[in-house]
Amino acid sequence: MTRILAIAGSLRAASFNAALLRAALAETPEGTTLDIGDMHGVPLYDGDLEEAEGLPAQVVALQGQLAAADGLLLVSPEYNGSIPGVLKNTLDWMSRGKGLAAFKGKPVAVIGASPGGFGTVLAQAHWAPVMRSLGMRPWHDARLMVSRAGNVFDADLNLTDDAVRKQLADYLAGYAASLR
């Protein structure tokens, strides 16, 4: 069984990226498990806090999920033409202590959704130096950037666009196959 840790890069309840991750659960190929990582409860990184209290429990849980996974899927919004701080902060925490070893050589893929017309093209490009610094292996065989997300999700944030659903299924199938 191939295991992928997937983290949506927004804490917002009505997040298009959390909705895209939920849609990914339904499109995960047979023989693959998509484990959802939760960023809620991860504080802003503070070295003094780490020294005084150690790693927060939520960070330790995410580190364990990453260590057990064959790959990492970041479902990243684009904020002000770049990556979301809350997701970057979570990876910063996860890379502390023994956590850095789980990133080394780990295949990583990035998808995202945006209400804008360019999808998450800039955020996806800006993840490259972070992935390189963590020693990850980016998967570049396909791209998925959902633009005009307000038109592909309904009011309850269910994916309603069949073309996007097929793109998502194909993307996940390709990424999962690369992990076997």
At 78 the pLDDT is: 96
Separation CA 43–CA 90 (nearest Å): 8
42 found inside a domain: no
**Quick one: CA dihedral 171, 141, 17, 8, positive or negative?**
positive
Q: Are the beta carbons of 118 and 145 closer than 8 angstroms?
A: yes
Neighbours of 13 (CB within 10 A): 7
At 39, the amino acid letter reads M
Separation CA 91–CA 134 (nearest Å): 9
Separation CA 81–CA 36 (nearest Å): 25
Note the Cα 60 to chain centre separation in Å.
17
160 found inside a domain: yes
Q: Are the beta carbons of 35 and 6 closer than 8 angstroms?
A: yes
Tokens coding 63: 């580190």
158 found inside a domain: yes
Separation CA 176–CA 170 (nearest Å): 10
Separation CA 8–CA 17 (nearest Å): 6
141 found inside a domain: yes
The range of the structural domain enclosing residue 110 comes to 2-37+69-84+104-179
What pLDDT tens digit does each residue of the chain (180 aa) get?
999 999 999 999 999 999 999 999 999 999 999 999 999 999 999 999 999 999 999 999 999 999 999 999 999 999 999 999 999 999 999 999 999 999 999 999 999 999 999 889 999 999 999 999 999 999 999 999 999 999 999 999 999 999 999 999 999 999 999 999
29 found inside a domain: yes
92 found inside a domain: no
46 found inside a domain: no
43 found inside a domain: no
The string of DSSP letters for 42-104 reads PPPP-HHHHHHH-S-HHHHHHHHHHHH-SEEEEE---BTTB--HHHHHHHHHHTTTTHHHHHT
At 66 the pLDDT is: 98
CATH number at residue 138: 3.40.50.360
Pairing relationship of beta strands 2-8 and 144-146 according to DSSP bridges? unpaired
At 136, the amino acid letter reads M
Separation CA 133–CA 151 (nearest Å): 36
* Number of independent structural domains in the chain: 1
